[in-house]
Chain A
Amino acid sequence: MRILRNSHIDFLGIKWICIGISIALSLIGLASLVIKRGPKLGIDFTGGAQIVYAFSQKPDENRIRTIVEGANVKIDSVQRFDKPEKNQVLLRIPMEQKEGRDIAREVNAALVKALFPQGGAPGAFDLNLNGADLLLNKLVAEDPEKFAARPSVDPKTEYTRITQAIIGQRSEKVLFASVGDAASDPRIPPATAAWLKEKTVAGPFTLLSAENVGPQVGKDLRERGMWAVILSWAAMLAYVAVRFRSLSFGTA
Chain B
Amino acid sequence: MQKPLGWRVALTLAVLVGSVFAYWWRGQEALKVNPTAPPDPTFGDVLRNGLKLGLDLRGGIHLVMQVKTSDALRVEAQDALEHVKDEAAKRGVALTPAGPADASGFAIAINEKSEPTKLRDLLKTALPPNAWDVSERGREWKVSLKDAERTAIEDQAVRQAVETVRNRVDALGVAEPFIGRQGTDRILIQLPGVDDPGRVKEIIGTTGLLELKLVDDKGGPFSKPEEVAAAYGGTVPQDLVVVEGFSEDSEARTRTPVYYGLRRASVITGRDLKNARVDRDKFNQPAVMFFLNAQGAVKFGDATGKNVGKRLAIVLDNRVQSAPVINSQIKDSGIIEGNFTLDRAEALTLVLKSGALPAEMIILEERTVGPSLGLDSIRKGVLASIVGMILVFIATVFYYRLAGVNAVVALILNAIILLGAMAWLNATLTLPGIAGFILTIGMAVDSNVLIFERIREEMDNGKAPKAAIDLGFKRAFATIIDTHVTTVAAAAFLFQFGTGPVRGFAVTLVIGLVASMFTAVFVSHLLFDLVYGKKTKVEAISI
Contacts and interface: CB of A to CB of B under 8 A. Distances in A.
Contacts of A247: 478
A232 B493 contact: yes
Given A134-B199, A228-B497, A239 B363 contact: no
Contacts of B485: 239
Interface stretch (A13-21, A59-67, A99-107): A99-107
A123 to B, nearest CB: 8
Interface string B179-203: 0000000000000001111110100
Contacts, number: 136
Contacts of A1: 398-399, 401
Interface in A52-88: 52, 54
Contact of B372 (A172, A221, A239): A172
B373 A227 contact: no
Contact of B197 (A52, A207, A227): A207
B499 interface: yes
A211 B368 contact: yes
Given A133-B196, A164-B36, A243-B482, A214 B364 contact: yes
Given A172-B372, A210-B197, A228 B365 contact: no
Interface residues of B, number: 52
Contact of B172 (A133, A170, A171, A224): A133
A216 interface: yes
A235 B373 contact: no
Interface stretch (B84-92, B137-145, B339-347, B351-359): B339-347
Q: Which of A134, A164, A173 has the most CB of B within 10 A?
A: A134
A46 interface: no
Contacts of A235: 486, 489-490, 492-493
Interface in B453-509: 453, 456-457, 478, 482, 485-486, 489-490, 492-494, 496-499
A246 interface: no
Contacts of B296: none
A22 interface: no
B489 A232 contact: yes
A1 B64 CA distance: 55
A1 B342 CA distance: 72
Interface string A101-118: 010110010000000000
A100 B364 contact: yes
A225 interface: yes
A172 B371 CA distance: 9
A212 B366 CA distance: 5
B50 interface: no
A159 B183 CA distance: 41
Nearest to B61: A210
B124 interface: no
Given A122-B341, A216-B364, A171 B478 contact: no
Interface in A227-252: 227-228, 231-232, 235-236, 239-240, 243, 247-248, 251
A167 interface: yes
Contact of A108 (B198, B370, B482, B494): B198
B497 A172 contact: no
B361 to A, nearest CB: 9
B475 to A, nearest CB: 9
B369 interface: yes
A239 B490 CA distance: 12
A231 B493 contact: yes
Contact of B363 (A102, A141, A164, A175): A102
A177 interface: no
A240 B199 CA distance: 53
Contacts of A211: 366-368
A122 B340 CA distance: 10
B497 A225 contact: yes
Contacts of B497: 224-225, 227-228, 231
What 3 pairs between A and B have smallest CB-CB spacing? A131-B196, A100-B362, A131-B195
25 contacts: A1-B401, A100-B66, A102-B201, A104-B197, A123-B341, A131-B196, A132-B195, A132-B196, A133-B173, A141-B342, A167-B371, A171-B59, A172-B375, A206-B370, A208-B373, A213-B365, A225-B497, A227-B493, A227-B497, A228-B498, A231-B493, A232-B490, A232-B492, A239-B486, A240-B486
Given A99-B362, A133-B199, 13 more contacts: A7-B457, A100-B363, A108-B198, A134-B199, A174-B376, A208-B372, A210-B197, A228-B493, A228-B494, A228-B496, A236-B490, A239-B482, A239-B486
Interface of B: 35-36, 59, 64, 66, 172-173, 194-199, 201, 341-343, 346, 362-376, 398-399, 401, 453, 456-457, 478, 482, 485-486, 489-490, 492-494, 496-499
